[in-house]
Amino acid sequence: MSKKIAIYPGSFDPITNGHLDLIKRASQLFDEVIVGITQNSKKSACLNIDQRLAITSTLLRDIDNIKVMSFNTLLVDFAKAQNAQIILRGLRAVSDFEYEFQLSGMNKHLNPEIETLFMTPAEQYANISSSLVREILSLGGDISHFVPNSVETLLKQQL
């Protein structure tokens, strides 16, 4: 039987408690979970790719079946190169669904062998997003409930 490998892609700029919750839960469902960190050319990054890789790797170092990697290709090509059969996507609200459904359909068209699996966050993380964390921080707000301490410290150093 082949290993079930899932990829959880995103910019993770910054990684939030919601992302970490989903990754930890996924690690119990799959033989391997690859956290695929990419630079989104449409977004200007707060943290550079090396910072995001380092902080994410540190936060997840105690979970044996998780790998943290960067990629700068089509997601389905990255998934195929990693022998992944599943793309994990988080859905916080109904408003996420339309965009994610469209992405899922396009990925299925590009590679019919790869499935997309949607996971919802634990209730306490349903309203957290990286962009909201960045906005709250830029306006001097408290982000300690939304990100781990090490991420909060790194973000404050960046400002």
Catalytic positions are 19, 43, 92, 130
Three-state DSSP at 36 gives: strand
Distance of CA 128 to the CA centre of its chain: 13
d(CA 156, CA 81): 36
Query: Cβ distance 52 to 12 under 8 Å?
Result: yes
d(CA 28, CA 33) in angstroms, rounded, equals 9
Q: Which two tokens stand for residue 63?
A: 């979970």
The DSSP bridge pattern shows strands 86-90 and 32-37 to be unpaired
